[in-house]
Amino acid sequence: MDLNKLVEIMEKLRSKKGCPWDKKQTRESLKPYLIEEAYEVLEAIEENNPAKIKEELGDLLFQIIFHCQLAKENNEFDINEVIESISQKMISRHPHVFGESECQTPEDVIKQWEVLKKKEGKLRSSILEGVPKAMPSLLRAHRLQKRAAQAGFDWEKLDDVLLKLDEEIEEFKDAIKKGNKEMMEEEFGDILFMLVNLSRFIGINPEDAHRKTISKFIHRFRYIEMKAAEENKELSEMTLKEMDRLWDEAKFIEKRAKSREPGVKSEERKTVKRKVQKMRRKMNY
């Protein structure tokens, strides 16, 4: 089965005798699904699950085919034109691969791209242009800060970044003392922006880091729920001290499973990992 078969399936779903749900969809109605499928691909990648990555990439591809079908129905373009367009773009943007120019480093490639964009008439009036407003805010902040840094608007050393973060935290504390909700929101935003700046400075993607922390929170909290269920208890019946103990227990199991310390034997690590896998299966995690 090839791409053309998938295009045919999409055409049939949108035909007169097709699926009522698919026939009803528009570009606007499909927007949430496009974003959702992209994030499910990210989740599969973070789980390092090839089978799931394959499945989720298929779902994402189907969304692309769907949008191409809508465009075809409006006599705008079709999937073949999309493929032709991106193919030509990649060839023209990589003359060091498909042409005679040379680029030795990724930095050389980026500089070449800017020159090529200028020739194409796509050079922006601001280096901050082109970062989508619909991006998740942490990722958007990271992209904007990275572009500003490329122009030389950046901190010289890590200590300067940390000092600025401390300064923003103090301003936030001051806003809390004053009880000014609008000021608190502004200063809290400044803290988040500085944390993104810090992550960029030390080479960490803030969106990835935050997503992994959320997953970690879900895993540990669901461990508490699982243990409560084993004891025939409702969470509302448990004390904070009991929940804290189970939280620490889940945290300990995770750390032991990841441990590579010399004092932890290989067989012990395997045993702990099996316990973690069993725990996750029980939680459908």
CATH number at residue 165: 1.10.287.1080
Cβ distance 257 to 274 under 8 Å? no
Do 166 and 219 sit in the same domain of this protein? no
Model confidence at 57: pLDDT above 60: yes
Structural domain for 147, as ranges: 137-204
Residue 83 forms part of a structural domain = no
Encode pLDDT of 233-284 as tens digits. Answer: 999 999 999 999 999 999 998 888 776 554 444 555 455 555 555 555 555 5
Structure tokens at 36: 């959702």
Q: How far is CA 18 from CA 11, 13, 85, in A?
A: 8, 4, 29
Do 229 and 244 sit in the same domain of this protein? yes
Q: What is the total count of domains within the chain? A: 3
Do 221 and 248 sit in the same domain of this protein? yes
Residue 265 forms part of a structural domain = yes
Encode pLDDT of 152-171 as tens digits. Answer: 999 999 999 999 999 999 99
pLDDT at site 19: 96
Task: Among 32-36, 50-54, 120-124, 248-252, name the one with the lowest average pLDDT.
Answer: 120-124
Residue 113 forms part of a structural domain = no
Do 152 and 213 sit in the same domain of this protein? no
Smallest Cα–Cα separation from 193: which of 132, 151, 143? 143
Do 211 and 172 sit in the same domain of this protein? no
Among the candidates 162, 187, 204, a domain finishes at 204
Do 199 and 227 sit in the same domain of this protein? no
Residue 246 forms part of a structural domain = yes
Residue 183 forms part of a structural domain = yes
User: pLDDT band at 47, cuts 50/70/90?
Assistant: confident
Instruction: Provide mean pLDDT across the span 172-196.
Output: 96
pLDDT at site 111: 83
Residue 277 forms part of a structural domain = yes
Do 271 and 230 sit in the same domain of this protein? yes
Residue 122 forms part of a structural domain = no
Model confidence at 148: pLDDT above 70: yes
Rounded mean pLDDT of the chain? 89
Distance from C-alpha of 177 to C-alpha of 171, rounded to nearest angstrom: 10
Among the candidates 77, 100, 121, a domain finishes at 77
DSSP per-residue string spanning 75-115: TS--HHHHHHHHHHHHHHH-HHHHSS----SHHHHHHHHHH
Structure tokens at 221: 């909290």
Structure tokens at 75: 């006599």
Say what percent of the chain tops pLDDT 90.
Answer: 69
Do 278 and 213 sit in the same domain of this protein? yes
Place of tokens 């909700």: 181
Residue 85 forms part of a structural domain = no
Q: Which residue has the higher pLDDT, 181 or 258?
A: 181
Cβ distance 175 to 184 under 8 Å? yes
